[in-house]
Amino acid sequence: MKDFSPFPRYLAKRTSDLGDKVLQQLTRWGVDETAILLVLAAGVGTAVGGSILLFYRGIDLAATVVPGITSTLRVPVALATIATLALGLVIVRGIVHFGTKDSPGENIPDVMHAVARRGGVVHSVPVVLKTVAAAVTLGSGGSVGAEGPVAVLGSALGSRIGRYFRFRPNRLKLLVGCGTAAGISGAFGAPIAGVFFALEEIIGSFRTFGLAPVVVASVAAAAVTRIGLGEDLVITIPQEYTIGPTSDLFLYALLGLLGGIVAVLYNRGVWKIHDLLADVPGWLRLVFAAVVIGAVSSQFEPGLWGRGHQGMDLGLVVGQSAWVLVLLAVAKIALTGLTLAGGGVGGVFTPALVIGGTFGSAVGIGLNTMFPDLGIQPVAFGLVGMAALVGGATHAPLTAIFIVLEMTNDYGLILPLMLGGTLAYVVAKRLQPESIYTEWLARRGEHISHGTDEGVLRSLTVQDAYRNDPTIVLAEATLASTLPTIRSSNQLEYPVVDSDNVVVGIFTWQDLKNALADPDLPRNTPIRDIAHPFSEGVTLGDDLQTALRQLGARDAQMLPVVDRVPPYHLRGIIGRTEIFAAYDRAVD
């Protein structure tokens, strides 16, 4: 992302000076950091909720004005639809070209990159312009989602507020996560899903400290949009349906496995269309996209296809034949790719819900046709299909599960949703390591995961980050003699070494607590007999990505740094603190 205007930079400096003074005054009054963050998060959420209402009104305006212009031509519906979209894409092209200098960013992957590489700095001007472009894309009939632009707009707002107070990168990233959560929450009326999306995709951490502000922002946005929109949900869901007996869970599991495959087809299809049209001149690509999208979408009812900021009507979907729904899912994949390749701006989350709903319903209808005695409910299969496609496409299974759960308010769906969303994620991750978001980054040589750039972590070695002077515990030392050493150290885990400095175990605070709580354990017991046996460490030549994965797999606080071959002499230790300190130095 780029900041294209000198005025915002000047204004930012003046407002940041004022922000410093406000923060200093609050500190003098004894207001603690948690209270400040919660208030700011509430402000971010409320502002994002209001922005979503304005954004939706902008989509509705575009959906009225642009077709109004083309309707004067008095042409058939299909031709009018094509002309409407073509005019919309021309307007979008002008906004992107003249307003953002053809910036390719201002999307969810770019926010992920900002958190991982730019300390949470998301510039507002290009984001606002891209949001306007997204409203025109959606209002003129483009096959994209409204959730992406509002999530990015929320992240930019959170970033701007954080920079107003000159927060350090960790706080700035947290406020970016608050804004993103608010965007997803407000768009779908799903505050829990908004929280999980921010934690899974943007922040990449479930740390307790960061949870409360994200929750507050997400709830505030959902409250504002529910007041403004009522029950006007993205997906219209029938009020009455049944889930089926527990014995049907294997069918939902099968749907999840198939949904993972369809999610990969969605990911690859969108990018394949992008690649096929990459060398086509921009104006020709725009015309081609408008013709194909307009011709195809005009053949479907709005409740099946989705229009503007609305998704689809699941009740109308399940009234179709299975083959019609399969065709609809394939068409939605192709036309979403065409909209983006043709210059449109928007999200890929809502199309995944539509594809999942149609595909899942098709499976349910097909099973009902073949096995009528099972009493399959296509609506329930459509809902689980949504979770499967979103979980597989975005690699965010918790978001997928809770977004459907909150849209239905039916906790009887929890087991089918968990099966469908999780299994689809596992299958999709296995077939294609990159999600539909991280693929955008990977094509630019960036590998972002859990809020960090994997490329940076792989470029650094343990030697760049490890501590060579850790507190150690001698294997033959007694529990009583070791207590003073542990009490004077700030470590939580300790390498246990023998007289030759060879690592033989790991002694943790939990080991210490268990030993002290055991009345039958003599105080002269050697530490070797209490500690966990040494199983694996890292070497000075291992990269930090390897070290971080080993820490996560073992849920360890630190890893011993040892020789590559036995005997494993201790060289030092490394933990998350050392890894992320080296990462931040490299990024800065």
Other beta carbons within 10 angstroms of residue 227's beta carbon come to 10
Give the span between the Cα atoms of 479 and 464, in whole angstroms: 34
Strand-pairing partners, residue 313, are 236
Domain boundary among 236, 258, 277: 236
Q: Which of 131-145, 171-185, 511-525 shows the highest mean pLDDT?
A: 171-185
Task: Please tell me whether residues 310 and 333 are part of one structural domain.
Answer: yes
Greater pLDDT, 518 or 341: 341
Q: Provide the whole-model pTM.
A: 0.79
Greater pLDDT, 257 or 56: 257
134 within 8 A of 56, measured Cβ to Cβ: no
What single string gives the DSSP state of each residue in 318-373?
TTS-HHHHHHHHHHHHHHHHHHHHTT---BSHHHHHHHHHHHHHHHHHHHHHH-GG
Strands 312-313 and 235-236: parallel
In a domain, 243, yes or no: no
What single string gives the DSSP state of each residue in 412-443?
GGHHHHHHHHHHHHHHHHHH-SS-TTHHHHHT
Give the span between the Cα atoms of 421 and 442, in whole angstroms: 24
Please tell me the predicted confidence (pLDDT) of residue 7.
Answer: 45
Please tell me the predicted confidence (pLDDT) of residue 6.
Answer: 46
In a domain, 451, yes or no: no
Q: In terms of Cα–Cα distance, which of 344, 340, 298 is closest to 79?
A: 298
Q: In terms of Cα–Cα distance, which of 456, 459, 473 is closest to 558?
A: 473
3-state secondary structure of 272: helix
Task: Please tell me whether residues 52 and 146 are part of one structural domain.
Answer: yes
One-letter amino acid at 128 equals V
In a domain, 128, yes or no: yes
How much of the chain, in percent, has pLDDT values that exceed 70? 86
In a domain, 242, yes or no: no
Domain boundary among 445, 480, 501: 445
Q: What is the mean pLDDT of residues 70-83?
A: 68
One-letter amino acid at 214 equals V
Task: Please tell me whether residues 419 and 472 are part of one structural domain.
Answer: no
Beta strands in 209-307 (DSSP E): 235-236
Question: In whole numbers, what is the pLDDT of the chain averaged over residues?
Answer: 84
393 within 8 A of 416, measured Cβ to Cβ: no
In a domain, 222, yes or no: yes
Other beta carbons within 10 angstroms of residue 206's beta carbon come to 13
CATH of the domain at 476: 3.10.580.10
Greater pLDDT, 87 or 360: 360
Strands 570-575 and 448-449: unpaired
Task: Please tell me whether residues 216 and 259 are part of one structural domain.
Answer: no
Q: What is the pLDDT of residues 4-15, one digit of tens each?
A: 444 455 555 555
In a domain, 570, yes or no: yes
Q: What is the mean pLDDT of residues 567-588?
A: 85
Q: In terms of Cα–Cα distance, which of 455, 362, 445, 380 is closest to 417?
A: 380
| Confidence band, pLDDT 50/70/90 cuts, at residue 205 | low
Task: Please tell me whether residues 38 and 140 are part of one structural domain.
Answer: yes
3-state secondary structure of 555: coil
In a domain, 450, yes or no: no
Q: Which two tokens stand for residue 74?
A: 């008095």
Q: What is the pLDDT of residues 85-108, one digit of tens each?
A: 888 889 998 998 888 888 887 888
Range of the domain at 495: 460-587
Task: Please tell me whether residues 232 and 279 are part of one structural domain.
Answer: no
In a domain, 293, yes or no: yes
1 pLDDT higher than 60: no
Please report, for residues 168, 385, 476, 513, 527, the alpha-carbon distance to residue 480 in angstroms, rounded to integers and kept in the order given. 43, 59, 12, 13, 10
130 within 8 A of 98, measured Cβ to Cβ: no
CATH of the domain at 294: 1.10.3080.10
Task: Please tell me whether residues 375 and 401 are part of one structural domain.
Answer: yes
Specify burial of residue 325 (Cβ count, 10 A radius: 0-12, 13-18, 19+): buried
Q: What is the pLDDT of residues 56-71, one digit of tens each?
A: 888 877 777 655 655 6
Task: Please tell me whether residues 90 and 129 are part of one structural domain.
Answer: yes
Greater pLDDT, 375 or 426: 426
Strands 452-453 and 448-449: antiparallel
How many Cα atoms are found within 13 Å in the side-chain-facing hemisphere of 530?
A: 31
Give the span between the Cα atoms of 506 and 157, in whole angstroms: 45
Strand-pairing partners, residue 478, are 526
Please tell me the predicted confidence (pLDDT) of residue 206.
Answer: 58
Give 459-525 as a 3 state SS string.
HCEHHHCCECCCCCEECCCEHHHHHHHHHCCCCCEEEEECCCCEEEEEEEHHHHHHHHHCCCCCCCC
One-letter amino acid at 401 equals I
Q: What is the mean pLDDT of residues 529-555?
A: 86
Residues in the chain: 588
* Number of independent structural domains in the chain: 3
Strand-pairing partners, residue 496, are 473, 505
Task: Please tell me whether residues 40 and 176 are part of one structural domain.
Answer: yes
Give the span between the Cα atoms of 587 and 119, in whole angstroms: 9
Other beta carbons within 10 angstroms of residue 295's beta carbon come to 14
Other beta carbons within 10 angstroms of residue 200's beta carbon come to 20
Domain boundary among 236, 267, 293: 236
Q: Which of the 8 DSSP states describes residue 453? A: E
Task: Please tell me whether residues 418 and 507 are part of one structural domain.
Answer: no
Q: Which of the 8 DSSP states describes residue 185? A: H
Task: Please tell me whether residues 165 and 63 are part of one structural domain.
Answer: yes
Please tell me the predicted confidence (pLDDT) of residue 489.
Answer: 85
Task: Please tell me whether residues 158 and 283 are part of one structural domain.
Answer: no
